[in-house]
Amino acid sequence: MGSSDDARSDTVPDTSPQPRTRASRLSLPSYDIGSLLGKGGMGEVLIARDPEIGRDVAIKRMNDSDGSPAALARFLREAKIQARLEHPAIVPVHELGRDSEGRPYFTMKRITGTTLHDVLRGPPRGLPALLRVFVDVCRAIEFAHAKHVVHRDLKPANIMLGDFGEVYVLDWGLARVTSEADEPRSNDDLALLQGLTAAGAVLGTPGYMAPEQIRDPSVGPAADVYALGSILFEILAGEPLHPRDDALASTLAKHLRTPAASAQVPPELEGVCVAALGPDPGARPSARDLAESVQQYLDGDRDLERRRAKSAEELARARDLIGDPARRAEASQHAGRALALDPESREAAALVTRLIVEPPPVLPDELRERLAQLDTMQTLRTVGLARFALLGFYILIPLVLWMGIVDRGVFALMIGFVTAHLAFAHWQFRSGRAYDIATLATNMILLVLVSRVFGSYVFVPAAVCAIAWGLGQQAGLLERRALFTGGMIVAFLVPLLLEQLGVLHSTSLIGDGQLVITSPLFRIGGAATQAMLIAGNLFAILVATVFGQHVSIARRRAQHDLEIQAWHLEKMVPGVAAHR
């Protein structure tokens, strides 16, 4: 199996139709040859069936483009190394031979599945499942090292997850035998030298190669450990340790620097990962040590002292940041991590409680934006209700016509303004924008117009209450309480003042123990007037009641949500109840 950056191993069948190439006409009497699966650096892989045993196999045959003794030796080396590594996580080799054209081939178990490369870039999988795969890979590499074999090209694309839970380490084409006594020999006495690499060549995959492997390909087991650390980092962080660049030189330069610490992960795994990625090959753990450390984490063993030390570090960072409003979110993250690392820490619990219960003196920009969004949503809900209240004016038009209109111009002005007010409210609701001052002004004008119906003492007080209920839900007006309250008072007093100045027709006469109401717009008298008074007052009562219920329901829901959250916090974080 030649070195390749493909995400799928070349032993995996390709279900797409394949053309019948020259390679697919390979003549091997013992096998029924199928389609071409793919090509690697040293050979091509085909599907075949062994009719005698009745099993499917994969056959890898050496390319005919390079028949040099060195290429032949490297191809046979891969077959022999892979054949002698009898391990459940290493694809077994069944047979080694030559085809009718004299080119060497070897047959392997045919496997199917998905590479770890695809898994890491696909839908998220649970960390324990990926760590179990990693342990199996470490065990396989540990076995290879015990046989004096270094893989030299470990990467997620060379790790296969079988369809039935199997794990395979693929592509041993760049493997190196570290003991001359164990160097494989071919049957035809080809000289299989250890130094088959051309001068200046780089063996391996940029992004997973150890720094010493870039300088000298004659590396030992520590280079595989570095690659395992890179794979573990990718599992934990969700991204490669050294992202691939278009320029090889740029990628290799990144390897020559000390790798950065991993993302926020359990400290036991972080320590294992950092140790495997150490710049000194002699200080790195063995593949067995990696497997045992990760397995201990999976078994539930925790390094309590290390966790307490990390918790103290996170706690110190949170305390340093808590005084900066712009970094309040970071302080919360560090405090939460400190408590997660050491749930018994009273200091961490107290700081988390403080961050939750005590609001900061200056709200961070992100939090202020979220609160502003909530205020806008509440305002728009109120505007939505106001639309239905304005529609009620049209319901009263038949009663107005029944009473008889005195001043058609003012009546037309009132209906036109109500229509414009309704359109403005609808536009705010649909656009998601709230204009508090403009809304206050339009409602003040509406109150002045309503006072022309039966004067300022009938309908207007009820209308003021209903409108105040609604406008009181708008955060912009609550922040301008003096303006809001003054606007409502002015809207009630201005018509009375204009009547006293003679600008508007008088709508009331007080004297001799009587209050006489007149209307400059409609004729007053009879059943029509009585029906109008009843309907108008019922409408005002209904609007005020609906707005009041809306306010009470929102307040009750908010209180219940806060109490539910507080209850959960009391159960999760010690000490929260004491601060309530």
- The DSSP output letter for 506 is -
- Active-site residue among 10, 136, 153, 436? 153
Q: Cα(352)–Cα(490) distance, rounded to whole angstroms?
A: 48
Q: Please, which residues have CB within 8 angstroms of residue 184's CB and are 6 or more apart in sequence?
A: 76, 77, 80, 81, 84, 177, 192
Q: Name residue 93's beta-bridge partners.
A: 108
Side chain identity at residue 337, one-letter code? R
Q: How far is CA 164 from the centre of its chain?
A: 30
Torsion over CA: 160, 203, 212, 82 (sign): positive
Exposed (0-12), middle (13-18) or buried (19+): which is 44, by Cβ within 10 Å? buried
- Residue 153 falls in the annotated catalytic set: yes
Q: Cα(192)–Cα(531) distance, rounded to whole angstroms?
A: 111
Q: Cα(323)–Cα(258) distance, rounded to whole angstroms?
A: 33
User: Of 55, 134, 62, whose CA–CA distance to 101 is shortest?
Assistant: 62
Strands (E), 156-213: 159-162, 167-169, 176-177
Q: With contact defined as beta carbons under 8 Å apart, do 251 and 242 qualify?
A: yes
User: Of 49, 28, 43, whose CA–CA distance to 101 is shortest?
Assistant: 28
Q: How far lies 319's CA from each of 43, 329, 573, in Å?
A: 60, 12, 18
Q: Please, which residues have CB within 8 angstroms of residue 54's CB and are 6 or more apart in sequence?
A: none
Could you count the other beta carbons within 10 Å of the beta carbon of residue 329? 15
The pair of three-digit structure tokens given for residue 331, joined into one six-digit string: 């302080």
What is the dihedral angle through the alpha carbons of 136, 137, 143, 145, rounded to the nearest 10 degrees? -150
* 3 state DSSP class of 509: strand
Q: With contact defined as beta carbons under 8 Å apart, do 150 and 223 qualify?
A: yes
User: Of 532, 526, 405, 539, whose CA–CA distance to 467 is shortest?
Assistant: 539
Catalytic residues: 153
